[in-house]
Structure 1
Amino acid sequence: MIPVTLPQYTSFKKLASGATGYYWTCPTLYRKAGCPYLSAPLGVNLSEKELHEAARVWNDRLEEWRRQKANPLQEPDTSRYGTVEWLMNTYLKHSSFTERVAEFSRPDYKRVLDRVCDIKLEKGRVGDARVANIAVSTAEKIYEAFGGTRMGEKVVTYCKAMWKRMKPHYPEMFRTDTPNPWEGVTLKRRKKQTKGHVDRETVYAFANGAIANGRGELAAAAVLAFEWLMRPSSIGAGYAPWTGYRASDHPDKIRLKHRKTDELALHPLEYVERDEETGEEIVIKLYEDAEKILAQTPRYGTSIVCKKNGVLFGDGTFLAHEVREMADKLRDEGEAIPVGFSLDKCRHGGMTELEESGLTEGQGRALSKHKTAAAYRGYAKDTEKRVLEATKKRFGHSEQPKIMNKINDGKSGKKA
């Protein structure tokens, strides 16, 4: 049931399941001014009290950003110098934070550190405690307040970095016996959920179905995530512009940017091969299926993926909701689209395909633009195909050369 009055900047939407979803959306005025908080889902089937409590968190953050915007030179409250909350506020404005943490990730740091400050222990609120009073035992209690969860791991990671980077600037504030108490926190073992993935056939079944339903922008989003390994946040924020697709300075490539790592990716779309018998030059299309989808994608704006009015989907979950609802619609129509289809699963499917194709780690990272090997390795799934190919190679039964010959023979017959 919809409450009589909605909190400021909130809206509701009837979901495909029949439930009512509530959302908070930053006003356009503040979006254009650079507010990092754009939109957020508040929950499903909330009571009026729950809705107001959920919305208050985001409205308070918006109000705090407005105050800082009005007076950007305002210094932290020195009357509370030496407290954990003072340290957090100073750290978030310090160059040791702004030069190391990408702008996209900064709101998450503030959100997590705010929650740390609001925790209440036996002696009171953590944010009011002196930094010098935070020992390993206190850090462990703070971590335990979050439990053995991903959020708890973030708390330890973010606080450990804050202590390490701020101690050289304010050495008098920190303990001498335990300079960084967060290094003594032992993380609990937990079974991490493995994100799912979808294969090429599923991605293009969705893409073609979305085009048939007049949603070419959703089809393009799925292809960008699978073929060129773009994060959903980069797609929604416009990091795949039409000007990067077969532009005049690189007519045979697509140029994209990965927002999280700030890495530019230039993917070749074709290459020229000379026929050994005729000497004729043949253009081999590398992403023929993907380009067919892009050819049917309407150009609503400067970005390949945007709303019909030309506005970007942004950082919120609106694009994800639209993709999920389209997948549900196609599944109801009889298409083989699995439950839970998402852009994230498209990207994980593309990363898995890299490994199934037998690429080296260096080749895979050249395509995905991951900065570290550790970050890259977590994406590819241990599929049956990967296990089978590894077993065949182990016993000397790999048919990789034959497969490559067949692929090359098939490509040689294709002309631009």
Structure 2
Amino acid sequence: MKRKPPGWPKYMETKPAAAGGVRYHWNAPSWARKRGYPVTSEPLGSDYAVAKARCDDFLNPAFDSWRTGGVTDESAKPRALVGTFDWAVSAYKADKKYTKRPSRTRTDYDRALNDVAGYILKDGRRFGSLNVKSINATAVDRLYEKLRVKNGVSRDRSALLSMTVCKLAWDVACRAHPSVVPASNPFKGVDVEYEPKQNRAATSEQLRQFVRGADEDGTPSLGTAAMIAFYWLVREEDIFSRMAWPDYRPAEQSSHVLVWHHKNRKTEKIAIPLFDVDGTPLWPEMMARLDGLTRTGTLIVMRDNPDPRKKIHMPWMTGGRNPMRYVQAEVRRICRAVGLPEDITFTSFRHGGHTDGADSGLTDAQMRALGAHKSTAALLRYAKETDTQRKIAARKRLNKRTERGNLSE
């Protein structure tokens, strides 16, 4: 299309349709994609009026809101017709069950919801434009099968996340608007086919290997972060955005470290003792590391070099929509440099700490106390089963049999 009509929406493009004519697409500019804008593109069908309305009423206002940090929200709020799936999603995003989730989680949820809402049906309509009362379990089952594959590539994990988040969004919208959203949730009971990939647990030797590599690389803060994850079982976002120097040996509890645990929209600190009853350090490696650091900011883990413009050390979790991806990329680079397996990630160090605890013979109660887990079921996602644990279990059974034998003599 050489000449565009007056009022052509920003970022809307055309592509030839297989049956002739054109189909419309909205594409985010390349600079926004690089900065992590979650909606990179969306097919809009072949109806110009529908495509234009979608861009004018939702996609471009949402993009402007992200671009300006919310400055344009009052004058250009995204709108959706009451009763549509888009509207139900908007109701969910206005609820605290969405707004209180971490930024990285919201980004993932946005992408999952957009995969569903932006799906183009055979008649050219978007799934998001459907009235919620017309969406049934059969339609959702068919949609799930379509989302599982894209361009010949399996996307089982993404499809599962889409179904999970839509199920939550539907329940929230129904609770807020019971007269509009049916109580029967069509996203419940979808027969998903996905076997989640287990995170690899790093060993203590792999931790030491990574820390040496980080120190040699000039990014020792990442080595410190990995040690905190391994020894004190802290989540990566808590390490990089919450754990501060006042938490380490505070005046009111100088023999403890206060460890952050932000999970399921709740934040708590637990006090971990640093010394045994006889004064022996319980975490000598970790304490030696922290005691030898130069404090460059409020947080324990700060970037290793001062910002070129601000001339101060900045937290790792700054800049871009998902700064944790940058941290993960740096961790992956160091892992490759020191020859660690490809499936070792930053998460591996926390999983490794849990597994190390299980290998040490800690009981479930002791593991839950250290990791601030509310249940054994949650704990089992982190502490991997190992041959060492089986040997400990076998040794305990052998000792018990021997004890019974001695008693019977």
Task: Note the alpha carbon deviations across 1:180-220, whole angstroms, 9 max, x for none.
Answer: 112232222x3332211111122123324433554321220
Which residue, out of 146, 149, 165, partners 1:158? Answer: 165
Which residue, out of 198, 205, 211, partners 2:202? Answer: 198
Judging changes above 3 Å, is the alpha-carbon distance between structure 1 residues 170 and 73 closer, same or farther for their aligned structure 2 residues?
farther
TM-score by length of 1: 0.71
Distance in 1 between the 2:294 and 2:220 partners? 6
Which residue, out of 281, 284, 289, partners 1:293? Answer: 289
Distance in 1 between the 2:335 and 2:159 partners? 33
Give the CA deviation at 1:126. 0.4
Give the CA deviation at 1:329. 3.0
- 8 A Cα contact 1:84 1:128, kept in partner: yes
Task: Note the alpha carbon deviations across 1:135-165, whole angstroms, 9 max, x for none.
Answer: 0001112211222712222222212222222
**1:118 aligned partner:** 118
Task: Note the alpha carbon deviations across 1:324-356, whole angstroms, 9 max, x for none.
Answer: 32333334xxxxx44544321111100111212
Residue 317, structure 1, aligned to residue 315, structure 2: no
**1:184 aligned partner:** 189
Task: Note the alpha carbon deviations across 1:82-112, whole angstroms, 9 max, x for none.
Answer: 110011012211345446x455533322221
Write the letter of the residue equivalent to 1:386: Q
Judging changes above 3 Å, is the alpha-carbon distance between structure 1 residues 77 and 304 closer, same or farther for their aligned structure 2 residues?
same
Judging changes above 3 Å, is the alpha-carbon distance between structure 1 residues 180 and 149 closer, same or farther for their aligned structure 2 residues?
same
**1:263 aligned partner:** 268
SS at match of 2:145: helix
Q: Mapping of 1:248-287 within 5 angstroms? A: 248-261=251-264, 262-273=267-278, 283-287=279-283
Which residue, out of 381, 385, 390, partners 1:382? Answer: 385
- 8 A Cα contact 1:216 1:298, kept in partner: no
TM-score by length of 2: 0.72
SS at match of 1:264: strand
Give the CA deviation at 1:68. 4.3
Judging changes above 3 Å, is the alpha-carbon distance between structure 1 residues 87 and 389 closer, same or farther for their aligned structure 2 residues?
same
Distance in 1 between the 2:295 and 2:401 partners? 45
- 8 A Cα contact 2:62 2:77, kept in partner: no
Between Structure 1 and Structure 2, how many residues are aligned? Answer: 335
Q: Mapping of 1:11-410 within 5 angstroms? A: 24-25=34-35, 63-65=64-66, 66=68, 68-71=70-73, 77=79, 80-95=81-96, 97-98=98-99, 101=101, 105-123=105-123, 124-147=125-148, 149-175=156-182, 179-188=184-193, 190-236=194-240, 238-261=241-264, 262-273=267-278, 283-307=279-303, 308-309=305-306, 310-314=313-317, 315-331=323-339, 337-396=340-399
Judging changes above 3 Å, is the alpha-carbon distance between structure 1 residues 166 and 25 closer, same or farther for their aligned structure 2 residues?
closer
**1:406 aligned partner:** none
Give the CA deviation at 1:287. 0.4
Q: What stretches of structure 2 of length at least 5 have no aligned partner?
A: 1-28, 41-58, 149-154, 307-312, 318-322, 403-409
Give the CA deviation at 1:292. 1.8
Task: Note the alpha carbon deviations across 1:205-245, whole angstroms, 9 max, x for none.
Answer: 33244335543212201101101112223323x22212211
Give the CA deviation at 1:171. 2.5
Q: CA RMSD in A?
A: 3.2
Judging changes above 3 Å, is the alpha-carbon distance between structure 1 residues 9 and 120 closer, same or farther for their aligned structure 2 residues?
closer
Judging changes above 3 Å, is the alpha-carbon distance between structure 1 residues 186 and 328 closer, same or farther for their aligned structure 2 residues?
closer
Give the CA deviation at 1:256. 2.6
Write the letter of the residue equivalent to 1:233: E
Distance in 2 between the 1:60 and 1:227 partners? 45
Q: What stretches of structure 1 of length at least 5 have no aligned partner?
A: 1-6, 11-22, 27-36, 42-57, 274-282, 332-336, 400-416
Give the CA deviation at 1:74. 7.2
Percentage of pairs with the same residue: 27
SS at match of 2:348: helix
